[in-house]
Amino acid sequence: MNEIDRRAHPAGMRLWHWAAPDGWRYRRADWPQSAGQARGSLMFAGGRGDFIEKYLEAAGHWHDAGWNVSSFDWRGQGKSKGDIEGQDIASFDPLLEDMAGLVADWMAANPAPHVIVAHSLGGHMLLRLLIERPPAIAAAVLIAPMIDVNSAPLPPPLARAMAGAITAAGFGKRGLWKAPLATAPAGSKRQQVLTSCVERYEDEAYWWEQEPDFRPAAPTFGWLRAAYRSARGFTPANLKRIELPILMLGAAGDRLVSGPAIRRTAAFLPNAELEMYEGCAHEILREADPTRLAALARIDAFLDRRAT
């Protein structure tokens, strides 16, 4: 595999803008193979607060493996921010509309087989898409998917009730934490929650310096209430109807998303495989090499079997 510069756009990657169904301006990236050389097309959907450049290294791995690779910045993030502040959204439904339109356009413009790899919030939205508007893709990979928020030390029912009550009381725009992310250097609690790899963690700060819009604001209580409401659709009955081959990867000690919820979801999906990693944090594909490379190899093997 070719080594990629995590702090530079690779040659051949096209950055452009796509209009969502309601006209929202989305930033997208397409990194195609040479004409006629692709084994298929892979879309990556990042998590809350992510942006295309955070996952250039993973994109490079898949591109080296022969895939056309595409990615995007979610509404309200990166260069798709628009006028949303602090991830203050009342509902995840617009994100579902965005993803449905984006996937449809991507599939029409790129050769099969089509696969989607989604992390955290991206995994949440992809699972909703598979339940509500399933696209004809070959396979999906959900990495540390936000099936449910890790509310520890609060029990989930109390956390849901608090998010609803605080938002209903008129404080939905209040951030869940006060400290700006710019003050969370290597060694901080934020780094420990995201990845044990200092070098990859510092890549994010590098891109923040290059593009201030990449720095995310804190999610709000309104965002949290919207996340809980969106997750109501992940019922056993709905999950059991998804026949698509799915690989789920999780961090056993994840402090952002619920590991038990990932395990429960995998048990209900009729055609799912599950791998839980010990000793790593939330951003599995930006972890130290032992975990990161193991996860990439697991994804490669899955796609070799399921997306040919």
Looking at residues 95-103, what average pLDDT do you find?
Answer: 97
CATH number for 55: 3.40.50.1820
- Tell me how many helices (H) and strands (E) the chain has: 10, 8
At 209 the pLDDT is: 94
In a domain, 115, yes or no: yes
In a domain, 5, yes or no: no
In a domain, 7, yes or no: no
Q: Examine residue 113 and say whether the peptide bond preceding it is cis (omega within 30 degrees of 0).
A: yes
71 contacts 29 by C-beta, under 8 angstroms: yes
pTM, full prediction: 0.96
Contacts (Cβ under 8 Å, ≥6 apart) of 199 = none
At 1 the pLDDT is: 61
In a domain, 203, yes or no: yes
Q: Per the structure, how many domains does the chain have? A: 1
First-to-final CA distance of the chain: 21
Taking the mean position of all CA atoms in its chain, how far away is CA 112? Answer: 22
Looking at residues 98-118, what average pLDDT do you find?
Answer: 98
In a domain, 23, yes or no: yes
Q: What is the pLDDT of residues 175-195, one digit of tens each?
A: 887 655 666 788 889 999 999
Q: What is the pLDDT of residues 157-172, one digit of tens each?
A: 999 999 999 999 999 9
At 289 the pLDDT is: 98
171 contacts 282 by C-beta, under 8 angstroms: no
In a domain, 3, yes or no: no
Q: Residue written as tokens 């605080």?
A: 166
Q: Which two tokens stand for residue 154?
A: 């609060």
- 48: closest CA among 184, 226, 183? 226
Indicate the pLDDT class of residue 90, thresholds 50, 70 and 90. Answer: confident
At 183 the pLDDT is: 65
Domain that residue 40 falls in: 14-306
Contacts (Cβ under 8 Å, ≥6 apart) of 127 = 142, 145, 147, 234, 265
Q: Residue written as tokens 């951003």?
A: 283
Percentage with pLDDT > 70 across the chain = 96
Q: Any alpha helices (H) in 68-220, and if so which ranges?
A: 93-109, 121-132, 156-166, 189-194, 198-210
Residue 54, exposed/middle/buried by CB under 10 A (0-12, 13-18, 19+)? buried
Looking at residues 119-141, what average pLDDT do you find?
Answer: 98
- CA quadruple 196, 260, 97, 39: dihedral positive or negative? positive
At 86 the pLDDT is: 45
- CA quadruple 141, 143, 149, 150: dihedral positive or negative? positive
